[in-house]
């Protein structure tokens, strides 16, 4: 895994100067540097171009960590906390440097139930508050129960926004185009519906839906060609990585490589005409979380590889090849319940360890 001589020198300077020194994983391939500790159920991270870091905590707090100090950002929308719900994903707009725009997903109280919602906001110049908070989308109808909100937001190369939504524990709803449950939706940055969405002109279908038949996609990212990939939770077995295609049906709960927690068979088997096969699946389940496709900025050997966090077995999966295969398990004390994983603006890999209540920065140990 090649790494430039200047960057290796830069890492040594960081290790010498920082309060949190680098540690090396047991397999000696990766070096970990803690960035911020003592977090309370962190869910998502957004490294900033100026070196700062934004972190969401599920109970509704948005934190800014910069220059060794951590402070709470005001102005976050009211979130519904309970079960898997709360303040969830954060993504910086591609033009964040110029506009200070970011996107948040969260569980919203909808009266008698709750559902995944998306807002845009502007981070004030001093980082103390969110301004111009605007709701762009909320799923309908809301439902009771605290399961399967999704929920990642990804800005596509054309500036539209993809949001992943779980089926909220209502399995048949994932095949119902009149509901947002179990879908990936696509909206414009002003919240309007793109007219090239696949179901815009289909009677009875919600126009925001881009793909459907998902169970609970909690990881999402673009590959180097701009295609959307998601990682999603199966039941007992059958966790999946999928390349998301316009209008495609990913099969839940009609097909799956897993079984119900009771041991009973799911649906009709593992395949059916008109339903997509996963690009990769795990059995037993690893409880996949964040997903990132690496640019190759610090290592051409890793260019295009997919990194997926595991909540269950405490590691980061590296997937590569065609067909896709799990080629490495990055595992150490730092990888306890990995919730989110992203590439930072400098090319390092940043991830959340819920088990360690810490955000880490990971680089090649070469």
- DSSP character string of 298-323: S-GGGTT-EEEEESSS--EEEEETTT
Peptide bond into 323 cis (omega under 30): yes
Known active-site residue 148: yes
* The pLDDT of residue 25: 52
Asked if residue 41 lies in contact with residue 61, where contact means CB atoms within 8 angstroms, the answer is: no
Checking phi first, is residue 171 left (phi over 0); if not, alpha (psi -120 to 50) or beta? alpha
* The pLDDT of residue 146: 73
Nearest to 286 by CA among 314, 248, 252, 261: 314
**Rounded distance between C-alpha atoms, residue 100 and residue 131, angstroms:** 10
172 phi/psi in degrees, rounded to 5: -60, -25
**Rounded distance between C-alpha atoms, residue 91 and residue 292, angstroms:** 13
Structure tokens at 295: 């640019």
* The pLDDT of residue 5: 31
Asked if residue 360 lies in contact with residue 334, where contact means CB atoms within 8 angstroms, the answer is: yes
**Angle made by CA atoms 190, 191, 194, in degrees to the nearest 5:** 95
Reported as type and span, the H/E element at residue 7 is helix 5-17
* The pLDDT of residue 59: 95
**Rounded distance between C-alpha atoms, residue 311 and residue 221, angstroms:** 18
* The pLDDT of residue 9: 34
Rounded to whole angstroms, what are the CA distances from 139 to 78, 183, 185, 208? 16, 10, 9, 10
Going residue by residue through the chain (366 aa), what tens digit of pLDDT does each one get? 333 333 333 333 333 333 455 555 545 789 999 999 999 999 999 999 999 999 999 999 999 999 999 999 999 999 989 878 899 999 999 999 999 999 999 999 988 888 999 999 999 999 999 999 999 999 987 777 777 878 899 999 999 999 999 998 889 999 999 999 999 999 999 999 999 999 999 999 999 999 999 999 999 999 999 999 999 999 888 999 999 999 999 999 999 998 888 888 889 999 999 999 999 999 999 999 999 999 999 999 999 999 999 999 999 999 999 999 999 999 999 999 999 999 999 999 999 999 999 999 999 876
Nearest to 151 by CA among 204, 79, 199: 79
Asked if residue 341 lies in contact with residue 307, where contact means CB atoms within 8 angstroms, the answer is: yes
Task: Please tell me which residue in 9, 65, 148, 260 is annotated as part of the active site.
Answer: 148
Q: Any bridge partners for residue 319, and if so which?
A: 306, 326
**Rounded distance between C-alpha atoms, residue 333 and residue 335, angstroms:** 6
**Rounded distance between C-alpha atoms, residue 195 and residue 221, angstroms:** 23
31 phi/psi in degrees, rounded to 5: -115, 135
* The pLDDT of residue 14: 37
Whether the CA torsion 60, 229, 146, 353 is positive or negative: it is negative
Whether the CA torsion 65, 67, 68, 71 is positive or negative: it is negative
Structure tokens at 341: 């994983």
Give Cβ neighbours of residue 78 (< 8 Å, ≥ 6 apart): 60, 108, 109
For residue 237, the number of C-alpha atoms closer than 13 Å in the C-beta half-sphere is: 14
**Maximum pairwise Cα distance, the chain:** 62
């Amino acid at each position: 895994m090649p790494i430039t001589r200047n960057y290796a020198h830069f890492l040594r300077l960081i290790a010498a100067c920082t309060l949190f020194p680098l540690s090396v994983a047991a397999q000696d391939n990766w070096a970990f540097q803690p960035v911020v500790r003592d977090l309370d159920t962190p869910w998502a991270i957004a490294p900033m171009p100026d070196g700062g870091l934004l972190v969401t905590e599920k109970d509704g707090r948005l934190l800014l960590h910069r220059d060794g100090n951590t402070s709470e950002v005001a102005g976050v929308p009211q979130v519904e906390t309970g079960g898997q719900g709360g303040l969830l994903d954060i993504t910086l707009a591609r033009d964040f440097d110029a506009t200070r725009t970011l996107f948040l997903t969260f569980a919203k109280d909808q009266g008698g139930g709750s559902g995944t919602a998306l807002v845009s906001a502007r981070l004030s110049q001093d980082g103390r508050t969110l301004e111009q908070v605007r709701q762009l989308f909320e799923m309908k109808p809301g439902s009771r129960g605290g399961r399967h909100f999704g929920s990642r937001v990804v800005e596509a190369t054309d500036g539209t926004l993809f949001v992943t939504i779980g089926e909220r524990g209502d399995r048949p709803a994932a095949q119902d185009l009149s509901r947002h449950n179990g879908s990936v939706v696509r909206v414009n940055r002003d919240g309007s519906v793109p007219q090239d969405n696949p179901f815009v002109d289909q009677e009875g279908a919600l126009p925001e839906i881009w793909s459907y038949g998902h169970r609970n996609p909690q990881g999402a990212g673009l590959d180097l060609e701009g295609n959307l990939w998601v990682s999603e939770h199966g039941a007992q077995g059958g966790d999946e990585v999928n390349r998301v295609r316009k209008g495609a049906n990913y099969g839940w709960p009609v097909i799956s490589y897993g079984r119900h927690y009771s041991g009973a068979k799911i649906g009709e088997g593992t395949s059916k005409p008109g339903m997509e096969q996963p690009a990769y699946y795990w059995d037993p389940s690893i409880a996949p979380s964040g997903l990132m496709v690496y640019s190759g900025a610090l290592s051409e050997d890793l260019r295009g590889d997919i990194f997926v966090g595991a909540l269950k077995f405490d590691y980061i999966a590296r997937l590569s090849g065609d067909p896709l295969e799990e080629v490495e398990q990055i595992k150490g004390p730092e990888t306890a319940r990995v919730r989110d994983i992203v590439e930072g603006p400098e090319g390092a890999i940043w991830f959340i360890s819920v088990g360690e209540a810490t955000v880490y920065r990971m680089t090649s140990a070469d």
